[in-house]
């Protein structure tokens, strides 16, 4: 939501993370937990990675998948751009604040099979991420869980032998998730369309639709206003 919507509480913006700084007038409302998953090219043939292994991969410390018990394939690390909420989620939940390898080159098609590993690139969107990982031998990336389950040509990979099923996400055992928010400038009028839509999203059929897309409504797990897992 930009400043063109200022002072208009009938406008809503849905985002996969909290708005940081600069817009104190925005009123946040938590909607759901959205799980994410690590993905690899099918040729990597690994069902699970440890959190420490994933951090090493994104630090550029692993050149070949054989170092982690996989095949003899150079590592191709696919990241989202630095302004991506999905990338921020990965840093917060898994990578931490330690040193990270700068992606190079930024154009994924420039990473060829002959490029010595590890090689890095960025994908601008979830669709680009899924397509790049599916078409790049040795690639690893990450995606919203629902979109990854519908994609062809990628392997979903567990983290420390945990998977993004609802029980493991709600309990805090599974680490990769973000909170979906609805924002408005001020409070929408109770009899307006925006307020009606918020009520739809947080109860009844709206919650059913969120579950259909692998999201977990905050009402199912809330122990505080944070909508965080209970673990």
DSSP 145-199: HHHHHH-SS-EEEEETTB---HHHHHTT-S--EEEEEEEEESPPPTTSHHHHHHH
Please give the radius of gyration of the chain, using alpha carbons only, rounded to the nearest integer. 19
The chain-wide mean pLDDT, for the chain, equals 86
Considering 140, 168, 196, which residue would you say is the last residue of a domain?
168
Q: What is the mean pLDDT of residues 6-33?
A: 76
DSSP notation for 17-69: S---SS-TTEEEEEEEEEEEEEEE-GGG--SEE-HHHHHHHHTT---BGGGGT
Considering 168, 188, 209, which residue would you say is the last residue of a domain?
168
Residue 1 clears pLDDT 50, i.e. is over it:
no
**pLDDT bucket at 100, cuts 50 / 70 / 90:** low
Residue 186 near residue 26, CB atoms below 8 Å: no
The residues, any chain, with a CB within 8 Å of residue 95's CB and separated by 6 or more, are 54, 55, 58
Claim to verify: residue 61 and residue 123 sit in the same structural domain: yes
| DSSP helix/strand/coil, 76 | strand
Residue 89 clears pLDDT 60, i.e. is over it:
yes
Q: Tens digits of per-residue pLDDT, 205-222?
A: 888 888 898 999 988 886
Claim to verify: residue 186 and residue 79 sit in the same structural domain: no
Question: Would 230 be classed as within a structural domain?
Answer: no
Q: Tens digits of per-residue pLDDT, 128-187?
A: 999 999 999 999 999 999 999 999 999 999 999 999 999 999 888 999 999 988 888 877
Claim to verify: residue 42 and residue 128 sit in the same structural domain: yes
Q: What is the mean pLDDT of residues 105-134?
A: 86
Question: Would 213 be classed as within a structural domain?
Answer: yes
Q: Which of 71-85, 171-185, 188-202 has the lowest mean pLDDT?
A: 188-202
Question: Would 226 be classed as within a structural domain?
Answer: no
Scan for tokens 């982690």, then name that residue: 68
Claim to verify: residue 91 and residue 154 sit in the same structural domain: yes
Question: Would 113 be classed as within a structural domain?
Answer: yes
Residue 101 clears pLDDT 70, i.e. is over it:
no
Claim to verify: residue 188 and residue 110 sit in the same structural domain: no
pLDDT at residue 26 in the model? 82
Question: Would 132 be classed as within a structural domain?
Answer: yes
Claim to verify: residue 76 and residue 96 sit in the same structural domain: yes
Claim to verify: residue 17 and residue 49 sit in the same structural domain: no
Claim to verify: residue 55 and residue 93 sit in the same structural domain: yes
pLDDT at residue 102 in the model? 59
Per cent of the chain over pLDDT 90 is 48
Number of domains in the chain: 2
pLDDT at residue 138 in the model? 94
Question: Would 15 be classed as within a structural domain?
Answer: yes
Angle between helices 193-201 and 205-212 (to 10 degrees): 60
pLDDT at residue 117 in the model? 80
pLDDT at residue 220 in the model? 83
Can you read off the two tokens belonging to residue 227? 């909508």
Claim to verify: residue 124 and residue 22 sit in the same structural domain: no
Question: Would 14 be classed as within a structural domain?
Answer: yes
Residue 59 near residue 102, CB atoms below 8 Å: no
Claim to verify: residue 184 and residue 145 sit in the same structural domain: no
What does the CA dihedral 125, 127, 129, 133 come to, rounded to 10 degrees?
Answer: -170
Question: Would 228 be classed as within a structural domain?
Answer: no
Residue 204 near residue 214, CB atoms below 8 Å: no
Can you read off the two tokens belonging to residue 205? 């059929």
pLDDT at residue 22 in the model? 63
Claim to verify: residue 43 and residue 25 sit in the same structural domain: no
CATH of the domain at 64: 3.40.190.10
Domain limits at 214?
Answer: 3-33+178-220
Claim to verify: residue 49 and residue 27 sit in the same structural domain: no
């Amino acid at each position: 939501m930009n400043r063109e919507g200022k002072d208009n509480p009938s406008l809503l913006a849905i985002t996969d993370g909290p708005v940081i700084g600069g817009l104190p007038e925005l009123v946040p409302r938590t909607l759901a937990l959205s799980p994410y998953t690590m993905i690899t090219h099918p040729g990597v043939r690994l069902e699970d990675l440890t959190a420490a292994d994933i951090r090493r991969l994104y630090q550029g410390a692993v050149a070949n998948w054989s170092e982690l018990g996989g095949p003899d394939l150079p590592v191709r690390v696919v990241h989202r751009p630095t302004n991506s909420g999905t990338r921020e989620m990965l840093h917060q939940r898994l990578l931490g604040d330690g040193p990270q390898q700068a992606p190079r080159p930024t154009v994924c098609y420039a990473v060829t099979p002959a490029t010595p590993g590890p090689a890095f690139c960025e994908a601008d969107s979830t669709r680009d991420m899924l397509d790049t990982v599916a078409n790049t031998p040795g690639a690893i990336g990450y995606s919203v869980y629902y979109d990854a389950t519908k994609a062809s040509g990628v392997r979903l990979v567990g983290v420390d032998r945990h998977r993004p099923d609802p029980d493991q996400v709600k309990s805090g055992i599974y680490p990769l998730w973000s909170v979906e928010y609805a924002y408005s400038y001020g409070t929408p009028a109770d009899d307006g369309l925006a307020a009606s839509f918020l009520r739809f999203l947080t109860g009844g059929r709206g919650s059913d639709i969120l579950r259909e897309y692998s999201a977990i409504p905050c009402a199912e797990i809330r122990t505080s206003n944070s909508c965080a897992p209970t673990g």
